[in-house]
Homo-oligomer: A and B are copies of this chain.
Amino acid sequence: MTSARSNRNGSAPAEGAVGGASRTAPESAARTTAAPTPAAAAASTRTPERGIPEATVARLPIYLRALITLAERGIATCSSEELATAAGVNSAKLRKDLSYLGSYGTRGVGYDVEYLRYQIAREIGVTQDWPVVIVGIGNLGHALANYSGFTSRGFRIVALLDSDPARLGELVGEMRIRSTTELEAVVVEHDVAIGVIATPAPAAQEVCDRLVAAGVTSILNFAPTVLSVPAGVDVRKVDLSIELQILAYHEQRKAMNGPEGPALTRVVETA
């Protein structure tokens, strides 16, 4: 385990004061005590202090995936330009992002794929597996349970929970669906920090409250509803219909610009 997570259980579930996550909370990173994690092995002398911009954090997994792809092709070294192309971003942005982690490249040469891959994985925290529990095993829950991307990228599903008695015991992949009554026990037993909610919207808040009360501090929410959580708990949401609606907005504008609009734009047609 070694997971430094402590038991913050027992706290009141309660709906947090503020809605939404505190992820963006600036929290002036005081941390005056000199050199936390002092003498970090041999590497760098000056730990740039842990303060990676949120936008960069969101891109690190993309870089990681690109690096894995490159490694599978047997490529040992790559330039920022190559990696940026593989990740679909600007090379300047890539270099700046990586600079927040430290100086892991070599000027005039580029980056060592395996080395950089490990460094990013370590920074994200996926060098070991995080236990994850999925609540709500409907169509989407099934898909998530079977999604190989979870288990292969630093996560391990430890339980599938559903409140429908008809589903209990059903096998999904290699895992059996268990009752939501076991939620607290599962979270405590496996020291689960990350929970995935794939229930219908009406049930999401209650499940969320129970997860948080049991000790979960990060939640990935697929239910189309706004979750209230206490400070210190991160929530990320994935809403499929919202994504489509954003696309629809732009489609509508294209259609409006088309007929009469100032369409002095370019037509770029690929093969």
Contacts and interface: CB of A to CB of B under 8 A. Distances in A.
Nearest to A254: B17
B249 A124 contact: yes
Contacts of A244: 130, 132, 150, 153-155, 194, 196, 220
Interface in A38-78: 40-41, 50, 57-58, 60-62, 64-66
A142 B70 CA distance: 31
Given A142-B139, A268-B31, A268-B232, A218 B261 contact: no
A230 interface: yes
Contact of A209 (B138, B219, B224, B270): B270
A109 interface: no
A125 interface: yes
B139 A242 contact: no
A166 interface: no
Contacts of A132: 244
B143 A34 contact: no
A262 interface: yes
Interface in A18-45: 18-20, 23, 25-37, 40-41
A15 to B, nearest CB: 5
B232 A265 contact: yes
B125 A249 contact: yes
Contact of A248 (B29, B194, B241, B258): B194
Contacts of A149: 224, 239-241
Interface residues of A, number: 117
Contacts of A86: 226
Interface in A103-158: 123-126, 130, 132, 138-140, 142-144, 146-147, 149-150, 153-155
A181 interface: no
A29 B209 CA distance: 42
A24 to B, nearest CB: 9
A230 B16 contact: no
Given A143-B140, A267-B14, A19 B88 contact: yes
Q: Which 8 residue pairs are nearest across A and B when measured between Cβ atoms?
A: A125-B252, A16-B265, A28-B88, A139-B143, A88-B226, A11-B269, A149-B241, A218-B247
Given A144-B240, A154-B241, A209-B271, 13 more contacts: A8-B269, A23-B247, A28-B264, A34-B266, A35-B266, A36-B261, A40-B265, A61-B246, A65-B224, A140-B147, A142-B142, A231-B265, A238-B238
18 contacts: A4-B255, A12-B267, A27-B265, A30-B85, A31-B262, A31-B268, A32-B262, A37-B256, A40-B265, A61-B246, A138-B143, A153-B241, A155-B248, A220-B240, A220-B244, A230-B270, A236-B246, A238-B240
